[in-house]
Amino acid sequence: TAAELREDTGTNQRDSMVKFAPLSVPWERRMQTFVVLQWVFCFLALGKICIVVFIGLLFTRFWIFSILYATWLYLDRDKPWQGGRRIEAVRRWVIWKYMKDYFPVSVSNGAGWGAARTVVPHMSVGKCGPVCSEQNTGLGGRSRASTTMWPGEESSFCLAMTVELDPSRNYLAGFHPHGILAAGAFTNLCTESTGFSSLFPGIRPHLMMLNLWFWTPFFRDYIMSGGLVSADKESAAHILNRKGGGSLLAIIVGGSQEALNARPGDYRLLLRNRKGFIRLALMHGAALVPIFSFGENDLFDQVDNSPGSWLRWTQNRLQKIMRVSLPLFHGRGVFQYSFGLMPYRQPITTVVGTPIEVQKTPRPSQEEVDRLHQRYMKELSNLFEAHKLKYNVPKEGLPQRAGLALGRIEGGAVIPEGFAEVSVEHISKAFDDSCVSDPCQAPSHNWQHGRGGQTLAS
């Protein structure tokens, strides 16, 4: 039945009692679930387990292994700040293909105001399985695509390319939004499951992560193998100054603080005063690339933590102390679709915007930083507006003037600046040139679209 084909898309299950998975689920989809389960486990628990194992071995007859690793950790301590240690074999593990197909995840390069690829799915059941057709709506340029569609999925996997990145240049990319677990950033930039290297030949992607994880024994080597590097100015300078170019350094600008806003239909970004990455781009002459991941916030529900609530106050306090946020999220389970820590099967489409040329300025003034920051926000807004109706932001129910604007919050009240479909939340500590990502807090650039196309109140 149609309900069985859509058994785990996360739409019907949220509003019903416990709904168990049928026994007839194909092995392909079981493998997808298992791979995503291990990824969630690694994200949430593997680092802590590695610390416990490292310390525990010291009190056993295998203590020598901890001593040897501690020696290695000391000798290798600077590696996360020197470009990390990418291992292509790990990035190309077959398990990442199953993870990509779980949602599914895709990456698209859309140039300008809408040169993109629109996927028009249709089902054709036979020995060869389902197929998916596609329509190129871009204007000029070269494109490559790969599609896969399975019964019960509302979208299809499609890779499209309309503009190339010059492999002789280095790029600094701002990735938005963070979401709960940053699934889109990891899948597209830390694995080859979506064919990033095929879309952008000669470009080596790196993704910044909190420094503390690179002091975690064993775990640090695992995350570096995918291309993760330390979120530090020294690390950024090493990558952006590589001779010969071909490096793309991605920063999830909103950081872990932005995860507290992640819920279906809500696109609030911590951006307005986060200017450290802008200063980095100017200092190293790296072109700025805005990246928006549609569907990232649809993977989990989150307990209501509106600004001013005791829960949000507690989360903000813990984030300042621990340097990581603690969103109370939930999704589906492994054998049922009603609750658990597994993400919903919702499509993620990561759109790579057109690079913004940046003139190298070793000592940029605040005025130059502000000017480029305003341009970046405008380009990111244009990217969102050009693609929002194609990727999971429904047209039905949106206001006639479905644009973006900025606002600020004072005393809990939203004060709009221009057309207020969006708002900006003020947080005291600005993102300055002393930090690059997660630990810093800043005002937010807020896009909100409710479920079914209704605009959410701030």
CATH number reported for the structural domain that contains residue 271 in this entry: 3.40.1130
pLDDT for res 45: 94
- Split at pLDDT 50, 70, 90, the class of 396 is low
In percent, how much of the chain has pLDDT > 70?
A: 70
In 61-195, which ranges are continuous DSSP H helix? 63-75, 88-91, 95-102, 183-189
Asked whether residue 456 is domain-assigned, the answer is: no
- Split at pLDDT 50, 70, 90, the class of 395 is low
Asked whether residue 399 is domain-assigned, the answer is: no
pLDDT for res 1: 38
In DSSP notation, 362-385 reads SS--HHHHHHHHHHHHHHHHHHHH
Tokens 């405008």 -> residue: 378
Asked whether residue 414 is domain-assigned, the answer is: no
In percent, how much of the chain has pLDDT > 90?
A: 54
Among 86-100, 260-274, 299-313, 383-397, name the one with the lowest average pLDDT: 383-397
Asked whether residue 403 is domain-assigned, the answer is: no
User: How many structural domains are present in the chain?
Assistant: 1
- The backbone torsions φ and ψ at residue 415, rounded to the nearest 5 degrees and listed phi first, read -110, 105
In DSSP notation, 100-134 reads HHHTTEEEEE-BTTTB-EEEEE----STT---EEE
Asked whether residue 368 is domain-assigned, the answer is: yes
pLDDT digits (tens, 9 = 90+) for 26-39: 999 999 999 999 99
Asked whether residue 140 is domain-assigned, the answer is: no
Q: Which has the closest alpha carbon to 342: 41, 25, 28, 26?
A: 41
Which residues, in sequence order, are CB contacts of 455 under 8 Å at separation 6+?
Answer: 398, 399, 421, 448, 449
- Between strands 204-209 and 247-252, the pairing is parallel
Mean pLDDT of the chain: 76
Asked whether residue 400 is domain-assigned, the answer is: no
- The backbone torsions φ and ψ at residue 382, rounded to the nearest 5 degrees and listed phi first, read -60, -40
- Split at pLDDT 50, 70, 90, the class of 323 is confident
- Full domain range(s) for residue 166: 27-103+155-393
pLDDT for res 33: 94
